[in-house]
A and B are shown apart, each in its own frame.
Chain A
């Protein structure tokens, strides 16, 4: 085995994060990569400390679980920027930092006396990441926006929802506009750090949340860009210019599974054997068609159009999966299909994956001891594991009392 150096690939890199909602996940990802991240928040505490959910639903600046997750393992500096001494401390800190991450309204830092150009001149290796909702040149960056309004305006919401278009389209959960933005912020600042290794100097990076969501819409954008077609939302599957067949199936325990249709002879053979093993083949009306499917090498769209029987066989394969779903739990359907070479995914609620044997075996959850609760909590694991330089143990997010 090669030697390992615990701490993550960005160990030694110092990041100053001016705490806002749009910087939080960028800082968190940098923590996951091993950077030292110093949050800067007002003396009375960041407004983010008031984000629900709270421990036992009791509000308090050190009780926000939102804060716990996003600010884990960060250090914090309390600074009021209209106070000259605090401002001087921040300027001194930035003078020895590698990266600044901020999402202040364009122009507002300069008004507070934080002159990026001067700070970069004094620290030429500094990488300065400015995040805004719509880009510095767009007046919408000076107006209020939220995760919901960004995802509505930028495309993800248009693609998401139900076949019934009298029901409102849906915004995917989990604050993903901020996450999309953070992914691009981190990718870009890693490019800048690599460039710095080659060239020596830092630079300014502008990250645009609205643009990030615009280019995180897959088919919707390039179907318009190349073909001028507009995709339409469909329940539980890809939005598309025309309707497609359902892929989600409810299992016998009321939970859902996402499935892919059988297309190969081997898929049909696996389904036929499974139906027989469960002793339910005779109850399934289309079993003979499934058996015929075992003779086919692969079912393509063109074959279905050319031959009605192939279309019927294809339909029977889907029906077989739906029939099995009525007799199995979602978990047994998911694992059973996958073990037989058919792609499928159980639709977990987030907390359910913590108990899943695969996540457990990979040791994904990360333990964090909370003295105030007297117990260790399982935090979301790091999205990436670096074997040569594994992540350090996590520390709880900074409390008001722990700030410098």
Chain B
């Protein structure tokens, strides 16, 4: 056992993609022993990211998917064929030695393999079982398929991300795969905390769609109390801010191709600072001094602001506005925030891991630091079956010959 915050925790992990694997990545970074179980018959392809682009170099195949590597750092990886009776026996042994079982298959998969919650609890009475699927396992849509963009669509996140008279813009990535993973991590950790205090396990049926819907609280209350739906003329206008109401508030053009700067004038004091920074006649017009006027005539104001920003370098302009007390930021490309911002590097946000096949690879780190038990991300995602000897030998007590036989018999 290591000295991480969670070194006393063992996870029997079936998660895949980001919505599941992202959860157990967080636990592994704090030292939890996360044993990732993969199917030897399909080469671990129940996680579609194994072998999926982008790639670090010209090599292809199940050991070279960089998304898979990014989401599975610091985990152990074993193969196990659950079509075989021996495979099921080995899983039972592993469950007996685990604190939690985690998966984000479609509803009912683990049950069909004979490892539903009742069976898991027979094997380990205090087991924490967290299943995570798009709509939850129970309910009319329990069998529906989902991935990030679908959970985002149904939960309202796609709709609220758009501009008037245009289709929904969505998020441009699987925000709910990240966020589903965050909630899954919270579910596992909170249930482990309850278990630590009471000895009681439980099954948590997490629904990514519900987790996404929970991110719209004020909108739901505005509809309930004021009868004002988000689906109405002129709504959404996602770059503006109604709660709290601010103007000007938007993403404006800057010098160069596809360059933009975000500006939020939070209140009347910030407006004075902004108008002084602009230094043009229109900005000092008393007409714009009250927030109510700026909100009412926002289209006109946005046109004035956009015409002003269009000639400036976005970095220099944002810096100038910020130092004058106005919230502003350039819209940054990935390379600019990753390699052009010394503070993300200083934070350790892009750690380099050592991957057995890919070599040295940079991955996403964590946006937190703990003073006594901080995270460590240094090992790449496991190769298929990379830790079979360690897990079947050291943990389950099998001999080298027995492990060899399992391999020959197609069990691992």
Is A156 among interface residues, defined by CB-CB distance under 8 A?
Answer: yes
Known: A159-B171, A212-B367. A350 touches B262 (CB 8 A): no
Is B264 among interface residues, defined by CB-CB distance under 8 A?
Answer: yes
Choose from A135, A181, A235, A388 the contact partner of B200 (Cβ within 8 Å).
Answer: A388
Choose from A138, A260, A385 the contact partner of B205 (Cβ within 8 Å).
Answer: A385
Choose from A153, A358, A364 the contact partner of B141 (Cβ within 8 Å).
Answer: A358
- Are B326 and A197 neighbours in the complex by a CB distance under 8 Å? no
Within 8 A of B (CB), among A179-234: 179-181, 183-188, 190-195, 197-199, 201, 203-212, 214-231, 233-234
Choose from B9, B200, B266, B322 the contact partner of A194 (Cβ within 8 Å).
Answer: B9
Is A89 among interface residues, defined by CB-CB distance under 8 A?
Answer: no
Known: A140-B322, A349-B156. A160 touches B172 (CB 8 A): yes
Is B368 among interface residues, defined by CB-CB distance under 8 A?
Answer: yes
- Are A179 and B215 neighbours in the complex by a CB distance under 8 Å? yes
B62 to chain A, nearest CB (A): 15
- Are A388 and B194 neighbours in the complex by a CB distance under 8 Å? yes
Choose from B8, B171, B219 the contact partner of A350 (Cβ within 8 Å).
Answer: B219
Q: Which of B281-289, B341-349, B386-394, B395-403 faces chain A? A: B341-349
Is A371 among interface residues, defined by CB-CB distance under 8 A?
Answer: no
Q: How far does the alpha carbon of A153 sit from the alpha carbon of B329 in the complex, in Å?
A: 6
Known: A171-B251, A226-B56. A53 touches B226 (CB 8 A): yes
Known: A194-B5, A377-B224, A384-B190. A225 touches B169 (CB 8 A): no
Contact residues of B: prevailing secondary structure: mixed
Known: A197-B193, A382-B214. A227 touches B206 (CB 8 A): no
- Are B179 and A183 neighbours in the complex by a CB distance under 8 Å? yes
Chain A interface residue number, banded: 35 or more
Cβ-closest chain B residue relative to A257 = B153
- Are A183 and B169 neighbours in the complex by a CB distance under 8 Å? no
A372 to chain B, nearest CB (A): 11
- Are B170 and A208 neighbours in the complex by a CB distance under 8 Å? no
What residues of A have a CB within 8 angstroms of the CB of B261 in the complex? 152
Is A329 among interface residues, defined by CB-CB distance under 8 A?
Answer: no
- A-B contacts counted at CB < 8 A amount to 502
Is A69 among interface residues, defined by CB-CB distance under 8 A?
Answer: yes
- Are B155 and A348 neighbours in the complex by a CB distance under 8 Å? yes
Is B271 among interface residues, defined by CB-CB distance under 8 A?
Answer: no
A285 to chain B, nearest CB (A): 25
- Are A188 and B138 neighbours in the complex by a CB distance under 8 Å? no
Cβ-closest chain A residue relative to B327 = A144
- Are A66 and B244 neighbours in the complex by a CB distance under 8 Å? yes
Q: How far does the alpha carbon of A24 sit from the alpha carbon of B316 in the complex, in Å?
A: 32
Choose from B185, B344, B346 the contact partner of A187 (Cβ within 8 Å).
Answer: B185
Is A250 among interface residues, defined by CB-CB distance under 8 A?
Answer: yes
- Beyond A155-B337, A173-B236, A236-B167, 13 additional contacts (C-beta under 8 Å) are A55-B226, A140-B343, A148-B264, A162-B169, A167-B163, A187-B185, A195-B373, A209-B367, A227-B56, A346-B153, A347-B159, A353-B154, A387-B202
Could you write out 12 A-B pairs with CB less than 8 Å apart?
A137-B343, A153-B262, A155-B334, A191-B5, A191-B6, A192-B5, A204-B371, A225-B338, A231-B334, A234-B172, A347-B158, A348-B153
Q: List the 6 closest pairs (A to B, CB-CB), nearest first.
A: A173-B160, A211-B367, A69-B217, A159-B172, A345-B153, A345-B150
